[in-house]
């Protein structure tokens, strides 16, 4: 019973470690292991006392035999039989201790397996985080290189007659250092992957002391060099700081990663040693049992051959009882080990399948016998059932929150439009056009949906424009036009502080949907792909819908005239690729326009 309770405790420790592996979990596992050893020590002492009692009983029988043998003057036989019976009981005691040690060994093996499993999960977590940081560094270095190349070309184009070579050289240096950083990041990850995959602790130490130290030093030197250029052009600043932040995050993770890997290898070595010891114990135990059988056969043979005056029945009973006791002890130990190992392995494998998504949380762990493991299975099923229900509730709540968020955003967009001269359906159509163009452009489904949900906020900044300007029926003068153009920056300022993806996307759309491909737009006069793809897509969708929709103050343009305008503005106002996509998918766009047509009283 004590062993089953110990196994139950270890199994529950494993369950908790599959949810979250950390240093506290490891400490808990090791504490449980110590408690198990204390319990097993007590069991060993009890078993030892029981064996001493058995020996005492056998010694009583020996004394009886000795007395009877002395009566018949068979001194030599007395000595011989007594020695063999003592040897038999001593061997029996040793076998009993070995069986107990075998059970303890099984417990040690299971405990050590859990520790190794913990470190393996830790390593998986660290390698994922390192991979994420490396990818961020590579993206930032590529961004830095791209900016430097673009700004260099632009500078050369604008200053053909008066090029400052020193100024141009700085752009080249930034590009060169960016390449070095990118190359170092890839080598960095390759070395970390080698550490992750190797099982030789000497190889790990060699990589850490030589290659890894060298590439870390090179990376730090490149960082120092690139930091010299952060004030050269403020547009480089974000990339440089992000690279620096991720690099030092990797350095911190690397210390934990290597420590966990080395500890895991040490624990695996201990596990291997335990398995070898267990194998040796099994072999020795088999030999001792054989030896014990030989002694018992010899005792029986000697007594039957030389001691007619001794009750053959009594002697045979003693020997048979001893053999049967030995067999029962061995059978009980084997059964106990099996009853612990089999249900534990079954439960652990089942949990692994759930953790690896091979089984759902709604699946039930079968309950074969209503013992301690049956109770454990019931508890596990109850736990997974509760988790499954909680996850479903959370998913429903998330969906409700997302739906509410979308509705609020759509309403806010409509408010922005109604403050001007647009209609509520305008924002719906722009949202649908934006999704179509985003997917055709090559954005994935999630990003296309994000843009669809964010685009209704494109004119939210108009809520801050005075009515005298916003609703003026006549043409705006220069001062009024500058005020009107301010709605793009105003919308961005309203939304930029949010941490929500959808509002971050909406901030970009609000700020950049009036930028033009040739750089003549506002508020920042961005050129070409400097304009975010969200802004470029929304610009096409917004203008197409504005021209093609009836208003109380104007009639919709015919489709042919709208398409003629887009042909003329291709490469000027609009991204040429997006104009081509609009033409290729015009039937789908017109269908959306008709579906959400405005109705005027």
Domain membership of residue 61 (yes or no) is: yes
Strand partners, 470: none
Largest Cα span, the chain: 141
Domain membership of residue 342 (yes or no) is: yes
Q: Which of these three, 309, 343, 359, is where a domain ends?
A: 359
Domain membership of residue 387 (yes or no) is: no
- Which phi-psi region, left, alpha or beta, contains residue 170 (left: φ > 0; alpha: ψ -120 to 50)? alpha
355 and 409 share a domain? no
Identify whether 523 is preceded by a cis peptide bond (ω within 30 of 0). Answer: yes
437 and 507 share a domain? yes
Nearest CA to 82 out of 94, 71, 74 is that of 74
| CATH code, domain with 154 | 1.20.58.920
Nearest 5°: the CA angle 499, 502, 503 is 60
Strand partners, 554: 551
301 and 448 share a domain? no
Handedness of CA 72, 76, 79, 81 (dihedral sign): negative
341 and 257 share a domain? yes
347 and 451 share a domain? no
Domain membership of residue 65 (yes or no) is: yes
| CATH code, domain with 563 | 1.10.3210.10
Q: Could you give the CA distance from residue 535 to residue 538 in angstroms, rounded to a whole number?
A: 5
126 and 28 share a domain? yes
- Is 2:39 a contact under the CB 8 Å cutoff? yes
Tokens of residue 322, six digits: 């001893």
100 and 231 share a domain? yes
In this prediction, residue 351 carries a pLDDT of: 66
Domain membership of residue 375 (yes or no) is: no
Domain membership of residue 493 (yes or no) is: yes
221 and 343 share a domain? yes
297 and 440 share a domain? no
Number of domains the chain contains: 2
Domain membership of residue 6 (yes or no) is: yes
271 and 406 share a domain? no
Question: Which helix (H) or strand (E) covers residue 150, if one does?
Answer: helix 75-158
- Is 361:387 a contact under the CB 8 Å cutoff? yes
* Structural domain harbouring 262: 2-359
In this prediction, residue 277 carries a pLDDT of: 78
- Is 165:156 a contact under the CB 8 Å cutoff? no
Tokens of residue 472, six digits: 């003026």
Q: Which of these three, 339, 359, 379, is where a domain ends?
A: 359
Q: Could you give the CA distance from residue 93 to residue 90 in angstroms, rounded to a whole number?
A: 5
pLDDT digits (tens, 9 = 90+) for 460-474: 888 888 888 888 878
45 and 177 share a domain? yes
Low-confidence ranges of the chain (pLDDT < 70): 1-107, 109-110, 114, 282, 285-286, 288-385, 387-388, 390-391, 395, 397-424, 551-554, 599-601
Domain membership of residue 527 (yes or no) is: yes
In this prediction, residue 26 carries a pLDDT of: 47
Residue bearing tokens 């030589």:
210
467 and 589 share a domain? yes
Q: Which of these three, 337, 359, 381, is where a domain ends?
A: 359
Q: Could you give the CA distance from residue 505 to residue 460 in angstroms, rounded to a whole number?
A: 13
User: Which residues, other chains included, contact 71 with Cβ-Cβ below 8 Å and sequence gap of 6+?
Assistant: 309
Residue bearing tokens 């070095």:
180
Burial class (CB in 10 A: 0-12, 13-18, 19+), 25: buried
DSSP code, position 551 = B
């Amino acid at each position: 019973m004590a062993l089953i309770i110990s196994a139950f405790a270890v199994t529950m420790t494993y369950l908790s470690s599959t949810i979250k592996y950390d240093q506290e979990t490891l400490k808990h596992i090791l504490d449980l292991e110590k408690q198990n050893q204390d319990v097993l020590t007590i069991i060993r002492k009890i078993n030892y006392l029981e064996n001493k009692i058995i020996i005492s009983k056998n010694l009583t029988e020996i004394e009886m035999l000795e007395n009877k043998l002395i009566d018949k003057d068979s001194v030599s036989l007395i000595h011989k039989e007594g020695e063999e019976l003592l040897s038999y009981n001593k061997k029996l005691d040793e076998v009993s201790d070995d069986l107990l040690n075998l059970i303890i060994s099984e417990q040690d093996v299971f405990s050590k397996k859990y520790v190794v499993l913990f470190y393996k999960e830790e390593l998986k977590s660290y390698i994922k985080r390192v991979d994420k940081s490396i990818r961020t560094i590579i993206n930032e270095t590529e961004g830095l290189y791209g900016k430097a190349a673009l700004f260099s070309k632009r500078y050369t184009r604008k200053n053909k007659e008066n090029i400052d070579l020193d100024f141009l050289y700085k752009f080249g240096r930034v590009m060169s250092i960016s390449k070095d950083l990118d190359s170092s990041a890839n080598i960095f990850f390759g070395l970390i992957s080698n550490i992750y995959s190797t099982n030789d602790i000497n190889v790990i130490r060699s990589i850490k002391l030589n290659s890894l130290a060298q590439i870390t030093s090179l990376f730090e030197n490149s960082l120092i060099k690139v930091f010299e250029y952060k004030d050269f052009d403020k547009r480089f600043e974000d990339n440089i700081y992000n690279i620096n932040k991720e690099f030092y995050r990797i350095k911190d993770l690397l210390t934990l990663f290597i420590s966990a890997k080395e500890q895991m290898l040490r624990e695996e070595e201990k596990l291997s040693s335990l398995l070898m010891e267990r194998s040796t114990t099994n072999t020795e135990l088999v030999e001792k049992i054989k030896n014990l059988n030989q002694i018992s056969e010899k005792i029986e043979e000697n007594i039957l051959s030389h001691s007619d005056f001794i009750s053959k029945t009594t002697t045979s009973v003693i020997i048979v009882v001893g053999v049967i006791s030995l067999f029962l002890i061995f059978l009980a130990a084997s059964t106990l080990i099996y009853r612990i190992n089999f249900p534990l392995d079954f439960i652990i494998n089942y949990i692994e399948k759930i953790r690896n998504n091979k089984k759902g949380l709604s699946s039930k762990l079968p309950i074969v016998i209503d013992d301690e493991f049956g109770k454990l299975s019931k508890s596990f099923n109850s736990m997974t059932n509760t988790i499954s229900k909680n996850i479903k509730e959370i998913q429903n709540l998330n969906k409700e929150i997302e739906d509410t968020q979308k509705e609020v955003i759509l309403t806010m967009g409509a408010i922005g439009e109604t403050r001007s001269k647009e209609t509520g359906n305008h924002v719906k159509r722009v949202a649908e056009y934006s999704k179509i163009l985003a997917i055709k452009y090559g954005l994935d489904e999630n990003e296309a949906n994000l843009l669809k949900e964010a685009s209704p906020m494109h004119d939210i900044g108009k809520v801050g424009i005075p009515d005298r300007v916003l609703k003026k029926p006549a043409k705006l003068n220069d001062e009024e036009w500058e005020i009107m153009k301010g709605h793009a920056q105003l919308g961005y300022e309203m939304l930029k502080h949010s941490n929500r993806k959808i509002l971050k996307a909406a901030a970009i759309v609000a700020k950049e949907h009036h930028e033009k491909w040739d750089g003549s737009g506002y508020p920042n006069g961005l050129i070409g792909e400097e304009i975010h793809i969200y802004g470029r897509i929304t610009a096409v969708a917004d203008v197409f819908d504005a021209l093609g929709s009836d208003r109380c103050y104007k009639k919709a343009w015919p489709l042919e005239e709208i398409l003629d305008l887009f042909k003329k503005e291709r490469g000027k106002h609009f991204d040429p690729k997006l104009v081509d996509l609009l033409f290729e998918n015009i039937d789908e766009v017109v269908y959306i326009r008709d579906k959400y047509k405005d109705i005027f009283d």
